[in-house]
Amino acid sequence: MHNEIASKLNGQVSGSNAVANIATVGDSSVMVEAGKILEVCKALKAEGFNVLQAVTGTDYADRIELTYILADFTNNRELLLKTKLGRGDGSGNNKDTLPKIDSVVSVWNAANFQERETYDMIGVNFVGHPDLRRILTPDDWQGYPLRRDYVVQEKYLDMVVNPAHKINSADHMFGKKLKEEIGDPKKVSASWKSNDADESEDAKDGE
Amino acid sequence: MSGQHAQEEKIRLGDMEVLKSDLLTLNMGPQHPATHGVLRVEIKTDSEIVVEATPHLGYLHRCFEKHAENLDYRGVIPFVDRMDYLAAMSMEWGYCLAVEKMLGTEVPKRAEYIRILIAELQRIASHLVYFGTYGIDMGAFTTFLYCFQDREEILRLFEELSGARMLYNYVWIGGVWNDINDDQLRRVKTFVDRFEGELKKYHQLVGENKIFIERTANVGVLTKEQCFDYGATGPVLRGSGVEWDLRKNRPYGMYEKFDFNVVTGKGEKGTVGDCWDRYYVRIFEMFESIKIIRQVLEGIEEGPVMGKVSKIIKVPAGEIYMRTECPRGELGYHLISDGGKTPYRLKVKSSCFTHTSMLPIIAPGQMVADLVASIGSIDIVLGEVDR
């Protein structure tokens, strides 16, 4: 199915550069060019994918990968549509330094909240979105939490974000102590012992 | 539009000449009994008519997805519970299915039966909370007491199985944590036999009640097209007359072996897709769940409840999107693995989040009291909306 869709997309949207990634484990996906996302989505909607389930981003060292999860409720299909973007600068709260991509709200209204969440969590600027505000964090929050290099800001509106007296240090100390005294804390309780044949292999896997 | 008094401009309303008034901005929530949690809806009203409604989320945001990146695959399960805390078993099952599919783990037959049993019991428990609290929204307090009495029996069983009343950590990767015994199965049977009759009574008392129908029929109508456009799923989609249920259309677990019907809204009391239809779908889904539970009780066999899973789980590199039919709609897990001991990225597609985004299209033109009915009828849990 993915190969078919990729070749169809290449025919309908020039420059979309659709490539099918056929996976051996899990789900396959179709990768397209970020600049053509709006045309690709329109073509796919005409193809029968009538529902946008989610828009989600993943942060890698050199790129941000957006995944559009589409579903076709008539023919019972689903498709992971992927695209790559640069990372931009996601340390502050400035939309201009973020990677840009066209919004698909005009195709499915479901994209409205989904794109807002992706903007809030990953830091992608959806151009043409009617109401691109942060959705889960406060409007003046700094940084994008689901980026890998995200550091929690120390102060928010003169409030300390992670005050020392609210961190349960007793738990941390207990774990640390266990590790020092016993080496592998999982060996403490008998419930972790199993009669599996692959135990020796797992032990190698472990610490 | 704050505070500035316009000069006495007059407009015609029917055959009367009245003073033109500004819109009034009201904040419903974040602490409000009608929003079922910490949701803030900013509404602009013209006298009692809602002109615009904007939901503001994030009051319960715990960034679950960030936590998941630092936990091993088994450690994610207790966190998953805390999303939809009224249907924690269903949340766990979806996550475990995603990981099992990636690992290629075989789940023992008895475990599959137990999973279906608890998922359907959970569906009943969750719909009972909806039914009870919706009664309160509509001014009928008694239903709440009856529903929680019945829900209590299910919670008591779950407590015996898992040790917890709400956040279970019971469904594990490869099976379930603990076996269910014959006495418990017998009690499930007694419960469903009694409950079926009770539910019929509740429906007659509430669903067929004139006041209830007046409050819900033709209120908060969502058409089929709007549902697809906004990506609605579950009872909201079925309430709008679409026959779509993942248990039927994309069977997971062992649902393809079970005989049950998909309930859809037919517009019996008003328009297709109104609040009454969504109520109807949920009530009759409980009867279907009872049907499934009876089949489980007949078919369940002796055997192990845990498959073979290595002690330290390493999921092969790749990605998967697994969706399951939870009480409130489709829950999707998009799991990306790089071959390590922790998920590289775990995105949760929450149906409640999607349904909240539909408030701006339901609200305009409604009375404020009808907005309360609409919010109640889409049945959101804020733990899942904000994650």
| Cβ–Cβ below 8 Å for B316 and A54 | no
Smallest CA–CA distance, residue A144 to chain B, in Å, is 11
The whole-angstrom distance between A7's CA and the closest CA on chain B is 22
For residue B359, pLDDT over 50 is answered with: yes
Give pLDDT tens digits for B300-320: 888 888 888 887 888 888 889
| Chain B residues within an 8 Å CB radius of A145 | 63, 66
Residue B107 φ/ψ region, left for φ over 0, alpha for ψ in the -120 to 50 degree band, beta for the rest: beta
Question: Is residue A106's pLDDT more than 80?
Answer: yes
Q: Is A113's CB within 8 Å of B357's CB?
A: yes
- What is the ipTM score, two decimals? 0.83
- Give the pLDDT band (50/70/90) at residue B50: confident
Mean pLDDT (whole number) for B162-184: 88
Which of A73, A117, A201 lies nearest to residue B228, judging by beta carbons? A73
- C-alpha pair distances (Å), B115 with each of B82, B121, B183, B204: 19, 10, 17, 31
- Compare all CA atoms of chain A with the CA of B321 and give the residue at the minimum distance: A27
Span A145-157, mean pLDDT?
A: 84
Least confident of A190-194, B317-321, B375-379: A190-194
pLDDT computed for residue A197 by the predictor: 42
pLDDT digits (tens, 9 = 90+) for B197-206: 989 988 888 8
A73 neighbourhood in chain B, CB within 8 Å: 228, 242, 244
Q: How does the average pLDDT of chain A come out, rounded?
A: 81
Residue B69, pLDDT score? 87
pLDDT of B187 above 80: yes
Q: Does B57 touch chain A (CB under 8 A)?
A: yes
A78, A108, A145: residue with CB nearest B66:
A145
Contacting residues for B98 by C-beta, under 8 A, at least 6 apart = B320, B322, B333, B335
Which residue in B99, B347, B384 has the most chain A C-beta atoms within 10 A of its own C-beta, making it the best mutation to test that interface? B347
What token pair was written down for B98?
């995603």
- What is the per-residue pLDDT for B96? 92
pLDDT exceeding 90 applies to what percent of chain B? 19
Nearest CA distance, B272 vs chain A (angstrom): 19
Do A25 and B65 lie within an 8 Å CB cutoff? no
Distance CA B89, CA B96 (A): 11
Q: What is the structure's pLDDT at A207?
A: 40
**pLDDT band at residue A187 under the 50/70/90 scheme:** low
Question: For residue B386, which residues of chain A lie inside 8 Å, CB to CB?
Answer: 136
CA B107, CA B110: separation in Å to the nearest integer?
A: 8
Average pLDDT score over residue span B75-89? 89
SS3 at position A178: helix
pLDDT given for residue A183 in this prediction: 65
Question: Residue B85, Cα to own-chain centre: how many angstroms?
Answer: 10
Q: What is the mean pLDDT of chain B?
A: 87
Residue B68 forms contact with A (CB below 8 Å): no
Output B10 or B342, whichever has higher pLDDT. B342
What is the pLDDT, as a whole number, of residue B7?
61
Mutate to test the interface with B, among A21, A25, A63 (most CBs of B within 10 A): A25
B220-234 pLDDT tens trace: 888 988 899 998 998
DSSP state of A135: S
Nearest CB to A58: which of B63, B310, B336?
A: B336
Segment among A17-26, A79-88, B77-86 with least mean pLDDT: A17-26
The distance of A16 to chain B (nearest Cα, Å) reads: 23
Tell me whether B59 touches chain A (CB under 8 Å).
Answer: no
Asked if A80 and B344 come within 8 Å (Cβ–Cβ), the reply is no
Q: Which residues contact B153 (CB under 8 A, 6 or more apart)?
A: B191
Using an 8 Å CB-CB cutoff, list chain B residues near A206.
311-312
Cross-strand bridge partners of residue B131: none
Any idea what the Cα angle at residue A131 is, between residues A127 and A134, rounded to 5°?
A: 95
**Strand-strand pairing, A51-59 and A77-85:** unpaired
Strands A77-85 and A29-32 turn out to be parallel
Residues of A in contact with B321 (CB under 8 A): 27, 69, 78, 80
| Nearest chain A Cα distance for residue B140, angstroms | 34
Q: SS in 3 state form for chain B?
A: CCCCCCCCCEEEECCEEEECCCCEEEEECCCEHHHCECCEEEEEEECCEEEEEEEECCCCCCCHHHHHCCCCCCCHHHHHHCCCCCCHHHHHHHHHHHHHHHHCCCCCHHHHHHHHHHHHHHHHHHHHHHHHHHHHHCCCCHHHHHHHHHHHHHHHHHHHHHCCCCCCCCEECCEECCCCCHHHHHHHHHHHHHHHHHHHHHHHHHHCCHHHHHHHCCCCCCCHHHHHHHCCCHHHHHHCCCCCCHHHHCCCCCHHHCCCCCCCCCCCCCCCCCHHHHHHHHHHHHHHHHHHHHHHHHHCCCCCCECCCCCCCCCCCEEEEEEEEECCEEEEEEEEECCCCCCCEEEEECHHHHHHCCHHHHCCCCEHHHHHHHHHHHCCCHHHHHC
Instruction: Enumerate the β-bridge partners of residue B335.
Output: B320, B346
Yes or no: say if B328 and B84 are a contact pair by the CB < 8 Å rule.
yes
Residue type, B164: A
From the list B345, B349, B387, which residue is nearest A53 (CB)? B349
Distance to chain B for A41, nearest Cα, Å: 13
Q: Residue B123: is its pLDDT beyond 60?
A: yes
Asked if B320's CB is within 8 angstroms of A117's CB, the reply is no
- Which residues in chain B are contacts of A198 at CB distance < 8 A? 310-311
Q: Which residue of A76, A192, A196 is in closest CB contact with B308?
A: A196
Q: pLDDT band for position B268 (50/70/90)?
A: confident
Are B353 and A113 a contacting pair at CB < 8 A? Answer: yes
Q: Is A122 helix (H, G, I), strand (E, B) or coil?
A: coil
**Cα(B234)–Cα(B227) distance, rounded to whole angstroms?**
10
